Structure 1
Amino acid sequence: MLPPHRAGALPKPSPSASPSASPSPSPSPSLRRVQVQWALYLSLSLALLWFPSGAVASTLNCHKTCICASNIVSCSKMNLTTVPTGLPLYTAVLDLSYNDISRLRAEWTTVKLTKLHNLLLSHNGLHFLSSEAFVYVKHLRYLDLSSNDLRQLDEFIFQPLGQLEVLLLYNNLISQIDRSAFQGLHSLQKLYLSQNMISRFPLELVKDKTRLEKLTLMDVSSNRIKVPPIEELQVLPAWIKNGLYFHNNPLICDCSLYSLLAHWHIRKLNSALDFKDEYSCYLPGSQKIRVGVFDLNRDYMNCSTFYEADEEAWLEQTLILRCDTKHRDLSKTWVMPGDVVVTEGLNQTAKVLPDGSLQIGPVKPEDSGTYTCYAVSEALNETLYVLVKVYNFTENGNGEALNTAYTTLVGCLTSVVLVLIYLYLTPCRCFCCPKKNHEDSIHSSMLSAAPSHEDLVNNTDPRHVAFIDPKELGHGLNGKVNPNDGVGDQGEMDEEGGLLGKGRRKKSVAESISSVFSDTPIVV
């Protein structure tokens, strides 16, 4: 009995087999080719099963994948994960919105699309942009990357797009923007960055020397900006401030913020006029109370009401009036007080500068008044009024007048001090002088006086003049001599003479003393 064969093993031919049995013939070459083709087909089919639909770059099909209308290719809402290949070279508008293209690689197109000027990639979940993604589409003028998952903008990411005019980046997750991300966008006019997570105001885009020269609108509203650069924003031209939107941010309340927006509102700038109610801020403190910025001057922080400041000047000063319009490239004409149009060539103290400003100088008092700037173009017109006040003195003369007033005041104060010293600190108060004896009388103070020539002629008798020092007199009432002093003894001697004689004696003494204080010298 023969042993059983192993499972799956073919039985070997028995040597005792019939000689008529022969080996099977080898397959023909045509059969081999068919087998190889089927093997390749099965391998490709199995490989495709591992990838989701659309992962492999598909060839453009204007009947199934996209809609082609002349130079417009629309592939919107086609569940694409990559950009179709084989795009026509004449494509001007390419719409890839509402798909699943999460990464825009450098090789998304291998040919230069020199006529492509509109590229739409919104609503794709896009989270990666290659640094070379726009190398082959340098002539783009409109790029829509809104409503995606972009988180940062790397350096020089948009540098190849020198002709781009509109860039939409709103409704993303952008929190970091490199300062050189927008470098090279020399033609950019409108930039939309709202509804992101930006906390730093991109001042380099609007600041002098680094600004994008043609940028007229920048929207950074609905972000996380708390403290905008107020001082830098105040000095920007009006045509930039007119399109600078930063409402609906968690701003911190401050009177400088109120003054900035109040000024914009008075100038009727669109950024403050159109979204006045959406400018809000948080009051300082732990309660985080949110209020309107335009209410800070009334109900909350008592900020000073803002008014347009007039231009002030002094005599012989040169003044420059700026026609700060909301729009660029307008033709400007100035009219001086008295409806005098400033024209070139006339012998006037005012002339229009190349940037449209008016230079006046040297100014005089009659130059005061309202100056009007008319700015017009084919579709726009704007009028600005500037009130000028010229003081009737020079700037240095004002300082000299102040010095003169100060000198006069010091002189007056010095005079008052000297008068007080004279009244209350007289030289008579000499505490170091020796006191005279009380026995000194009027007779001890008698001085011999040389007689005059006239007296010598008329009379040869010598005469003496006596002066009495007030200190040596008795202390009476307010410096007056008491008539009773010095006559006590004499009064006792005259007691027997009666009251009449006593009264006469006192009267004569009083008269003699009063004569001492008269202007007439006493002659003895």
Structure 2
Amino acid sequence: MMGDSHCISHRATEAALRRRFITVLSFALLLPAVSISAQLTPLDYRKTCVCASNIISCSMMNLTNVPNGLPQYTAVLDLSFNSISRLRAEWTTVRLSRLDKLLLNNNGLTFLSSEAFVYVTKLRYLDLSSNGLRLLDELIFEPLEHLEVLLLYNNYISQIDRSAFSGLVMLQRLYLSHNQISRFPLELVKERSRLETLRLLDVSSNRIKVLPLQELQALPAWIKNGLYFHNNTLLCSCELYDMVASWHLKELSSATDFRSSHTCVLPGPQKEKMAILDLDKVHLNCSEVKIMDKEAYLEQFLMLDCDTRQKDIIKSWALPGNIPLSSANKTAVMRSDGSLQLGPLRVEDSGVYTCYATSDSFNETLYVTVVVFNSTASGGLENLKTAYTTLVACLVSIVLVLIYLYFTPCRCACCPGSDLEKDNPRDSLHSSTVSISQAHEETGQERVEGGGFPYRHVGFLDIKDQLEQNGRLNPIGEEDEEWQGDNKERRRSDAESVSSVCSDTPMVV
């Protein structure tokens, strides 16, 4: 009996264990189904998130999708530190017209639908930092016309479409640091395409090698004050040093706050990093940057800019000697943009002009030194014109002298080589022509062989003087009978006389 009872109890135990095993196995098989059904079922924000009035916090809930059924009065939605990798167009099916802040940071987000923000157009703060975004498509943020702050730092962004930020007419701060950007987004700050309200653009810690230096230097100070580009692989140059040094002298926050982080890569195979502000010492020997005074001349007009680090603040000017600007002063007028127009300038207008910029949270004082020279700019130009005129006159005189020496015009009635003959040889005296006496060819040859020099006489005879020559020698010291000599010799003498006048040798009377 006892053996039978022991066998019965053993069998009962096995049956009980068998039933328990089946129960556990059935539960184990049902768990995946429950899990799958839970994922397919829309999440209820009331069960997965913490609600506090109009704030819904779903942070660190291991979510892969955005909970559905969000109330329309939601003002702040925190979805940070989850696993939401794709933000689709249908992530919300209702228009969240009061949503002011959306936090999606630290989610591993790799995809943004082009219609992801159609139902949240009133957003003012959007945090997409610390995700896996690689590119920003065109017009991706266009519906967010009220957005003021956009955080995109610590992603893998390498491509930004030039129209990606179009439509963000209220954007004030844009953070793009710690990405893989290689092109500076100049369209965000340049004159005609910039976002007018943008006060801070952070592109630090990227892969930018070249900056548009001239365009950046031309920007107003309130933009440069919030333009951060440190910790990039910029190529060293004196132009880069000039820009950073001038920003540092003006105490712009973008230069002074991260002075040690403003580095560049020296040219050469070693790719050595160097502090930009040290380029003037050893490596590139760049010239020292100084803030120059304003210089002008008498009667000129001069414009003084009050280039402050903040936008839309109240500005006022004080004249040299800390004299307040008044409407009675006609030579100093403040313009609508806050600049000061001076002119026509006088010597007493030299001095230090002070611009006071004030607002509720920020005050700034700028000093501009003006030097007025005691001369007019037009006077200097007139002196320069006089110098040029004198130089031209000297050159013309030299040319005329050379023409006279080497291209003397023939003054004779009969030039050499012409066949014209005068009927009366005495006409040469009446017409004030030149006649030169020369001995016969034999006598001339004797003189030359004897070391003498043939000479020529030049005479100019007036009619009045000719009348007084009766009974006297003619002007060339010969008797009147010689004028009746041999025609052949006379013609030869006339030809030689003509050729002598056209010769280069000096003429002696």
Q: Report the TM-score when normalising by structure 1.
A: 0.69
Inter-CA distance 59–343: structure 2 relative to 1 (3 Å threshold): same
Contact 2:322 / 2:354 at 8 angstroms: preserved in 1? no
**Residue 464 of structure 2: aligned partner:** none
Q: Secondary structure at the match of 2:239?
A: helix
**Residue 116 of structure 1: aligned partner:** 99
The separation in 2 between residues aligned to 1:180 and 1:383, in whole angstroms, is 38
Inter-CA distance 368–55: structure 2 relative to 1 (3 Å threshold): farther
The separation in 2 between residues aligned to 1:335 and 1:405, in whole angstroms, is 42
- Whose Rg is larger? 1
**Residue 332 of structure 2: aligned partner:** 350
Inter-CA distance 149–55: structure 2 relative to 1 (3 Å threshold): farther
Following superposition, the deviation at residue 313 of structure 1 comes to 2.1
Residues 356-395 of structure 1: pairs in structure 2 closer than 5 A: 356-395=338-377
Following superposition, the deviation at residue 299 of structure 1 comes to 1.2
* 1:183 and 2:166 aligned: yes
**Residue 217 of structure 1: aligned partner:** 200
The separation in 1 between residues aligned to 2:188 and 2:399, in whole angstroms, is 66
Amino acid at match of 1:189: Q
The separation in 2 between residues aligned to 1:277 and 1:235, in whole angstroms, is 24
Amino acid at match of 1:394: T
* 1:397 and 2:379 aligned: yes
Contact 2:157 / 2:179 at 8 angstroms: preserved in 1? yes
* 1:58 and 2:43 aligned: yes
Specify which of 135, 141, 144 is matched with residue 158 of structure 1: 141
Amino acid at match of 2:306: C
Contact 2:332 / 2:341 at 8 angstroms: preserved in 1? yes
The separation in 2 between residues aligned to 1:347 and 1:300, in whole angstroms, is 51
The separation in 2 between residues aligned to 1:149 and 1:440, in whole angstroms, is 111
**Residue 299 of structure 1: aligned partner:** 282
Matched-pair identity in %? 61
**Residue 405 of structure 2: aligned partner:** none
Specify which of 234, 244, 249 is matched with residue 251 of structure 1: 234
The separation in 2 between residues aligned to 1:418 and 1:436, in whole angstroms, is 37
Residues 231-380 of structure 1: pairs in structure 2 closer than 5 A: 231-344=214-327, 346-380=328-362
Q: Secondary structure at the match of 2:68?
A: coil
Inter-CA distance 264–49: structure 2 relative to 1 (3 Å threshold): same
The separation in 1 between residues aligned to 2:173 and 2:396, in whole angstroms, is 70
Greater CA deviation, 204-213 or 242-251? 204-213
The separation in 1 between residues aligned to 2:192 and 2:201, in whole angstroms, is 17
Inter-CA distance 230–55: structure 2 relative to 1 (3 Å threshold): farther
Amino acid at match of 2:351: G
Contact 1:76 / 1:97 at 8 angstroms: preserved in 2? yes
**Residue 117 of structure 2: aligned partner:** 134
Following superposition, the deviation at residue 118 of structure 1 comes to 1.0
Following superposition, the deviation at residue 336 of structure 1 comes to 1.6
The separation in 2 between residues aligned to 1:331 and 1:270, in whole angstroms, is 20
Following superposition, the deviation at residue 417 of structure 1 comes to 11
Contact 2:146 / 2:169 at 8 angstroms: preserved in 1? yes
Q: Secondary structure at the match of 1:97?
A: coil
Q: Secondary structure at the match of 1:297?
A: coil
The separation in 2 between residues aligned to 1:410 and 1:108, in whole angstroms, is 83
CA displacement 1:331-372 (0-9 Å, x = unmatched): 11111223332223x241111111100111222232222211
Contact 2:350 / 2:372 at 8 angstroms: preserved in 1? yes
Amino acid at match of 2:279: L
The separation in 2 between residues aligned to 1:201 and 1:342, in whole angstroms, is 42
* 1:96 and 2:72 aligned: no
CA displacement 1:14-53 (0-9 Å, x = unmatched): xxxxxxxxxxxxxxxxxxxxxxxxxxxxx998765558x7
Following superposition, the deviation at residue 437 of structure 1 comes to 5.8
Following superposition, the deviation at residue 392 of structure 1 comes to 3.2
The separation in 1 between residues aligned to 2:385 and 2:445, in whole angstroms, is 53
Residues 446-465 of structure 1: pairs in structure 2 closer than 5 A: none
The separation in 2 between residues aligned to 1:249 and 1:288, in whole angstroms, is 13
Q: Secondary structure at the match of 1:288?
A: coil
Inter-CA distance 369–409: structure 2 relative to 1 (3 Å threshold): farther
The separation in 2 between residues aligned to 1:130 and 1:418, in whole angstroms, is 85
The separation in 2 between residues aligned to 1:54 and 1:124, in whole angstroms, is 18
Following superposition, the deviation at residue 389 of structure 1 comes to 2.0
Q: Secondary structure at the match of 2:46?
A: coil
Q: Report the TM-score when normalising by structure 2.
A: 0.71
Instruction: Point out where structure 1 has 5 or more consecutive residues left out of the alignment.
Output: 1-42, 420-432, 445-524
Following superposition, the deviation at residue 322 of structure 1 comes to 0.5
Q: Secondary structure at the match of 2:282?
A: helix
The separation in 2 between residues aligned to 1:394 and 1:161, in whole angstroms, is 56
CA displacement 1:206-236 (0-9 Å, x = unmatched): 1112111111101000001000100000010
CA displacement 1:382-407 (0-9 Å, x = unmatched): 11111122233333332221122344
The separation in 1 between residues aligned to 2:378 and 2:273, in whole angstroms, is 49
Q: Secondary structure at the match of 1:227?
A: coil
**Residue 26 of structure 1: aligned partner:** none
**Residue 506 of structure 1: aligned partner:** none
Contact 1:280 / 1:290 at 8 angstroms: preserved in 2? yes
Contact 2:83 / 2:107 at 8 angstroms: preserved in 1? yes
Q: CA RMSD in A?
A: 3.6
Q: Secondary structure at the match of 1:389?
A: strand
Inter-CA distance 418–179: structure 2 relative to 1 (3 Å threshold): closer
Inter-CA distance 76–193: structure 2 relative to 1 (3 Å threshold): same
Specify which of 128, 142, 145 is matched with residue 128 of structure 2: 145
